[in-house]
Structure 1
Amino acid sequence: MSAEAVENEQKSGIVTTVPTGGLVTGNHGPLPNLIAASGSAAAFAWEEFIFGKIRNANTRAAYEHAIRKFLNHCESLGRQLTSISPADIGLYLDALPYAPATKKLHLSALRHVFDSLVSRHVLMLNPAASVRGERLTVVEGKTPEISIQQARQLLESICDSNIIGLRDHAIVCVMIYTAARVGAVAKLQRRDFYDLGGQHCLRFQEKGGKSREIPVRHDLQQIIHNYLSKAGLEFADKLTPLFRTTVRRTRQLTPNGMTPGDMARMVKRKLRVAGLPSQLSPHSFRVTTITDLLSQGVPLEDVQNLAGHADPRTTRLYDRRNRKVTRNIVERISV
């Protein structure tokens, strides 16, 4: 869940504070009070689900936040873990001031954790199993598209006369010319940019444990080489980060790699300097690249492979060609 969603929860007036009571389990923080009060089997089920079954750190954080929030709510109502009913869950979801997708995430988290509690004989039945989520049909993603002209404007506005400009220019170009997610770009190490004999490639570690090798076009290859040469990283240790942070405004690189948040903030700064809309984000480049290739008649399967999608329906969510047709139609309304 995004930081913005968490902030909105804190403003909504619903209980969000993580309880300070309960058993402390190692460095994992305190158990929710309702879990701690239900005995060792409940504590085991909690740790098994949160730290054992969920391997993705972002998913773990989002699910744990959603579950703690609900359990805090039940505690405020005087409920015990064994007395939570489908009505409690349904009414709770109805009161959440979130979009349907976020509510479905909360419901999914509750279903899974209660499944673990049932399997460890803490509960007889899963109270979330019969609760239906809101209907949600997504035909187009919400990420705003950056146009080809805007992308060129952004690239031209990045000053590459210093190492920071070269780094930022390389990062934006990697996102545009590979359609990689910002999280995968942030994970790049020096070894992930390599020569196969006449063809350079980038190897990305994507979400879900996927590893993907994407060929580097000639101009991007030169851009990355210029950055590595200026930064003195051409012969750096293979396990060092490819894109590094700086020491404040000294324009000197540190040994530390940039995080996805660092890159997102960098893109926002460059968008502001270029005079482009603030709602654009690093993910906008992914939308534009996919739409552009589909507009040129590149087969959907090939674009899907580039984007790393397991399902072609996911790739279609990034396709903004239908939106452009719709705009042309509404402009013809005579009123």
Structure 2
Amino acid sequence: MDELTLFDHLTSEQYLTQMRNKLEQRHLLDEHRNLTLSHSSEQDFLELFFVEKIFTLDKQFSLHTIRAYRSDAKTLLQFLMEHSLSFRDIGFPEVKAYNKYIKDKYAPKSAIRKLEFFRRLLDFGYETQFYQAHLSTWISKPASKKGHFITEESRPEMKQTRVQVRELNQKDAEYLISCFPKIVKANTNREQLEKRNLLIGYLLYTTGLRASELVSLNWGSFRYNRQGYLYADVIGKGKKPRSIPIKEETIELLFEYRRSLGESIEINPEDTSPLFFALYNKKEPCQHKKRLTYPSLYKIVKEAVHLAGKNSKVSPHWFRHTFVTMLLENDVPLAVVKDWAGHSDISTTNIYLERVNQDNTHMHLHKMNVFK
């Protein structure tokens, strides 16, 4: 993208002047000074779509989200290339054809996401006069089962589907975590790596942190509350802050990990150095520590899964689902779980509760005495 996307560092006056000049030079303003792309290039259309509707300045995106958007854009571009179409060529027949292509090729959740990306692009095109018709009205998304599930496995011979929940039972989760330190092969910094991996497993399992939140932790993210309990302050989706209590077992591992690195265990809210970082940089000043990345975290989990001989589909996010379910199984109030997990809406948390209640229906069945 060109300089049109790089105005976020300017003052408001500079921003207005330069944005206005750029848009006027490229004839992207109509007589009402509204954005118009009726005669723009496709490059301008795509660039402004991503700037105004996707990667807006007031949002932060995880690597997973960025990859998803790139994947959705790539899918649409490939479809257009295969049919020798440009974005200007999209009309009712092309919308219906792409809709069918996505629903036939992808599982419901992926199809819904890709069609939502397509809808947003068409709506932006209509709002800016790139398209003269409201084409997104012809999109129809597939139905999808709500919740934390793996793609359904079809059983056509029975005309049913089997749905696998993306979580672990307590026994499997704890065994899997015990494998986290065992995957370390290096001799250099072996002790530190083992303690790091075990702490990662415990944090995933006992806090419900998203992977992006875990790798974003700093030493200064931890604090004691007025009662003397340790909490971690994180910024979740939509820049929503929340505080998460840390279990005693996890605190012990946290301090052991810090000691093994020669780092202070004194809680310092001003310390912005990353909690997890590349250990070959551990002797460098804090500002030069290279933060652990999501791909590195993902690799740790996958290697532990392989060593434990568990479901190969298990990813870091499974621990979050497991954590939320365990809270509800132990009668933690729904509203508390919602805030703890950082769900934007309680209906998301309620999906877990509905399944927990469904799993416990046998308890009600045992209350029946039908053979007197």
Q: TM-score, normalised by structure 2?
A: 0.69
Q: How far apart, CA to CA, are the structure 1 residues paired with 2:75 and 2:3? A: 21
Q: CA deviation at 1:185?
A: 0.3
Q: How far apart, CA to CA, are the structure 1 residues paired with 2:253 and 2:263? A: 14
Q: CA deviation at 1:192?
A: 0.7
Q: How far apart, CA to CA, are the structure 2 residues paired with 1:259 and 1:317? A: 30
**Structure 1: gaps (5+ residues):** 1-23, 29-36, 329-335
Q: Is the 8 A contact 1:186 1:243 kept in 2?
A: yes
Opposite residue 172 of structure 2, the aligned amino acid is Q
Which residue does 1:245 correspond to in 2? 278
Q: Secondary structure at the match of 1:213?
A: strand
Q: CA deviation at 1:56?
A: 4.3
Which residue does 1:302 correspond to in 2? 336
Which residue does 1:292 correspond to in 2? 326
Opposite residue 91 of structure 1, the aligned amino acid is A
Q: Secondary structure at the match of 1:202?
A: strand
Q: CA deviation at 1:153?
A: 2.0
RMSD: 3.3
Match of 2:242 among 169, 187, 212: 212
1:62 aligns with 2:68: yes
Q: How far apart, CA to CA, are the structure 1 residues paired with 2:66 and 2:279? A: 30
Q: Secondary structure at the match of 1:135?
A: coil
Q: How far apart, CA to CA, are the structure 2 residues paired with 1:155 and 1:72? A: 41
Which residue does 1:195 correspond to in 2? 224
Residue-pair matches, total: 294
**Structure 2: gaps (5+ residues):** 6-36, 151-164, 183-189, 364-372
> Aligned pair in 2 of structure 1 residues 68, 86: CA closer, same or farther (>3 Å)?
farther
For residues 41-88 of structure 1, the C-alpha deviation after alignment (integer angstroms, 9 at most, x for no partner) is 654442232133323434454334323432442244233433312321
Which residue does 2:172 correspond to in 1? 150
Q: How far apart, CA to CA, are the structure 2 residues paired with 1:211 and 1:90? A: 41
Structure possessing the higher radius of gyration over alpha carbons: 2
Q: How far apart, CA to CA, are the structure 2 residues paired with 1:262 and 1:159? A: 14
Q: How far apart, CA to CA, are the structure 1 residues paired with 2:179 and 2:67? A: 36
Which residue does 2:302 correspond to in 1? 268
Which residue does 1:77 correspond to in 2? 83
For residues 4-31 of structure 1, the C-alpha deviation after alignment (integer angstroms, 9 at most, x for no partner) is xxxxxxxxxxxxxxxxxxxx64699xxx
Match of 1:321 among 341, 352, 356: 356
Opposite residue 124 of structure 1, the aligned amino acid is Q
Q: TM-score, normalised by structure 1?
A: 0.76
Which residue does 1:16 correspond to in 2? none
Match of 1:115 among 107, 120, 123: 123
> Aligned pair in 2 of structure 1 residues 150, 44: CA closer, same or farther (>3 Å)?
same
| Identity level (%) | 23
Q: Is the 8 A contact 2:178 2:198 kept in 1?
A: no
Q: Is the 8 A contact 2:236 2:242 kept in 1?
A: yes
